[in-house]
Structure 1
Amino acid sequence: MDNKYYSAIQKSVYITNNLQIIQTLKEDYRDDLLSYMNNLGNVEAVLKALRSDELQSQITVYGFNPSIYRTEGIRKIGDLDPDIRTRVLTNEDDYPVRSFRVSPDSGRLEAHIYSKIMDFNETLAITEVVFPLEQSFAKLKALLPSGSFILYQAKDGTSFAVGGSNVSEAVISGAENSVPADYYRVALHLKSAQDDLLLYVGKTSVRLRVDGLLAIPLVMLIGLLLTIFFSIRFVTSLLTRRLTALTDNMRSETDTLNSFGTEGEESGGDELGQLEGTFRKLVVQIRDYYRLSAEHDLERGLLEAELLQGNLNPHVLYNTLSAIKWVFPHEKLTAIVDDMVDFYRLFLNRGEIVAPLDQEFEMIRKYMEIHRFSYESDFTYELLLEEEAKKAHVLRNMLQPIVENALIHGVNSLASGGKVTLIAGKEGDHIVIEVTDNGPGMSELAQARVLGDGTVSAKKQAQLPDAEAPAGQPAVAGGGRGPSGPGSGYALANIRRRIKLYYGEAYDMRLECTPGGGTKVILRIPFRLKEQLPVKPAPIFPAPPVSSSR
């Protein structure tokens, strides 16, 4: 029905805008019948084409021009119903005027759509497009159960009943204002016509249909419930026998289990009650054991972190004291001794686990000068600390072993031009620290061995020299000029482990280097001010000890 309305309205719009029809309606034919016949042929061809679709529509043009003649499809305005003419001429809505009538010839219900043909401000004619509705209504009524009916409600508020079997006219007329008590109403909107079809379906017929649809599922549900009931009885019987045997075994093990719980917490005297009491006691014992185990792991993690932090070989002090024996100007000796005093003052830091990042940078600066003195090296260094990151607290002495590693195994292997860069800045809720040297770099296997990465097989690690140190250099950090050996330095693997012990497994240290391209060590840790520091680090399960390497 919506498509039929749309097609009819489109035809009406086409006629009102067709230039041939407008020109035919404007001319005066009182003295020129031949001209009318020529124009009429064009108009009739257009009207015939519009009637030729499946809509079975009738199209008529009612002209105001008194000189036109009545032919097929063209009539004088006086032939149009006066009421319809008045409605069309006074219509201020852009939507066409509609009328619904029963055809006197065929007895079918028809829809009439009227529009004006205008030339500037002059009304030349009124078009009428007629198409049947009875067939569409018949299909709809065939789908409705007995006792239902249809009301057609137009846009302007008028309505008429399409009818229904065994429905009194009183019920149909009363439905225009309200829904009868024994009916459901379903509204179907006709978009093109902007009207509504109101379907009134009897509640009795709906109930009968629903009852028929629900009968089979209801029978199936009852059968399913009976099956579940007897299955539960069967399983319960089997389970009770097993629980009885289990309870008897538990009674034979200990009399305490039978009297578990304080007053008011006693379970029932049957097998399930006894099992419930025993289960509660086991839950309490497991909870207590887990709490004690967690506290033990926490204490062990704290102790190990302290041991790792304190396991530092002060080889710098030994090397420097040895170098004092050499001949140097007095001013240099004074300066280096002052740097050593400042360095170890910052290094010890009154036993605190953490220290401000700017203090760590100051300690690194002192260490650089001591190293330059100890090794007579001409390397350069650059320390860059963002202002926002200065007050962040980090693990104490976390950077010194990394810088020492960069000096001894990086720039010391170069004849000249060595450089070490230390950069730290704040990124969101984290501190990112980078230590870079322009030394010989490391291979992928050497990086894995330095970090203690367990994913590298022992066979591959065995193929590597000690941390792939250059010739003439010690295998681990801390070699210096004094005596040293494997394990005497604070390896990068231990730094990595300290980070995981204190900050958690989510934080780590990584390397970026290629053979001959230098080495960069990157640390990413949480940004914490002093007042944000935890009392104790979160308990974790520490990794197994790893051997020192680079």
Structure 2
Amino acid sequence: MSDRLLRRFRNWGLKHKLILAFALLIGFVVVTSGLIIYTISKNRLEQTNRQLLLQNLKQTGALIDSKLDSYFLKSEIIFSNTHLQNFLRTQYGDLYSVYDAYQNQLSKVLEPVLMDMTYASTKGSELINVTIYTPNETLPKDSGILKDIKEIEGKTWVQELRQSKEKYQWQWVHEESGRKYISIHRLLTSFIDLKELGVLSIHIPEEVFVKLLQQNNEGSRSVLFLLGDSGDEIRSRSGAMLPEKDVALLRASDSREQVEKRTIEGQEFLFASIESTATGWHLAALMPYSDVTKPLKPIGYAVALILVVSLLLGLVLIVFIAHLTTRRLQLVIRKMNRVKSNWNEPLQLIAGRDEIGQLDATFNELIQALKITTEERVRLQVQKSSLQVELLQAQINPHLLYNTLATIQWKAKKADALEISDVSEALVRFFRHFLNHGDSRSTFGQELRLIGEYTKILRFTYNMAFEETIEFEEDIMAMGIPHLLLQPIVENAVVHGLRPKKAQGSLLIRGTKEGGRIIVEIIDDGVGMAPEQTDRINRSEQARPSYRGYGFLNVRKRILLGLGEEYGIQVESRPGAGTRVTLRLPAEYESSLE
């Protein structure tokens, strides 16, 4: 199935392929962009709601802490009043003295404090319940403000209050006379002898805190919770419930504030919590996550509309661009077909500097380069043919010289002219190697033997002495080399380098193997060459027949025609310091002139 689809796709025209490819690309980009925009909007909206929810929680927490601090301050005022101290410490003997103490001491202490300790309830404005539990048996207990301390003896919170260093304690939601309160208890002690005078309790109704939770949460579906150390939580209204495990984790948490996303009973909520600075209790809030995403619906519709319109416009643009692109490609293809049938077809550039225009310009340049290469190949072939003729002529002419020299050598030896006999024998061996049985290929070993005979002839001819050293790796000696390639370089080194030198010189011929190449160096310590002369040789400029660079150019030409452009010759020289000639030759030689 996949192979069938792939074959069908290959057979489609380029225009249809471009439309499909760009349609998929634009569709991917548009859909991805839409999803990214929607996700970013959702994340930013969620972050804003997180901040608002936490800010609302902090404001509500500040109101609750302020209310708790005010009741704590009231308890401080009552506790520190000396009239109350005297009232609770004094032992009364008759009702008159008790009545007088109520009027002149207790009322003066409590009335100013109780005046602003009211709250609005369903029954109207009510006073906050203030109770003093006293062990003084001479005071009458009216079951109102004054109560017998025996009523609270044995309760856990009383024992904890007496053991605490602060001598005050907040008590979480508890029930008194059928109503729920949050209370602050303070241990009353004498300023004189630090004896216990009783316990002051201020009972704050639960609805006070419910109203505070509702105050900053009107018109919202969020539910606020006030969580104490244990027991039930106080809630702003009915709604989602915090799971018991979350309540337990929140009470045990060390985090002062947090905002996160939670799932409760299959519904997602934004959950936030802070810690009260006054009591250490936790204030939490739950916001339905649907309230966060609800404003995204118009944004989603707008994004979807933009995506559809963008996709349609993109498809229209794709079809138009694909048509323009393939139309110009067809022009290039038709030009190629014309050139294939007629090599000399005039080439006209297709307008445009885009890739198609560049392709057309490159095609025109390629055709021009092919024409030039073809002409150059024809020219080189003519040169090769001429060189082959020259090589054949060079093989014919020396035969007479070879036979004549052999006769001279025989007669000189017979006449006891040993020096003439030796040089004649060297010439004979030289020409034997020179002729090489008509083969244009030789080996490095054969070439070096030829050079050895040749240097003997040069010493005799020019009456000169020089030191000759040959350093060749053993495995190179049997490798192939074009015949008579090294001899012109050695001749240049001896005749033009060492001969003009007054002192005895030296000649080094060294061969090494580097990778797939053989490097041959011919080094003399003769008179050297001027820099401009060396540059002219390395640039392959044509030399005069008497000019020293003529032999180098001949060798360079043979290497280029027979071995290729990747091989060649390099000359380095300094006047008075000598000359180094480096040849780069193939390790596996096959002549192209055969």
Give the TM-score normalised by the residue count of structure 1: 0.45
Higher helix residue share: 2
User: TM-score, with normalisation over the residues of structure 2?
Assistant: 0.42
**Larger-gyration structure (1/2):** 2
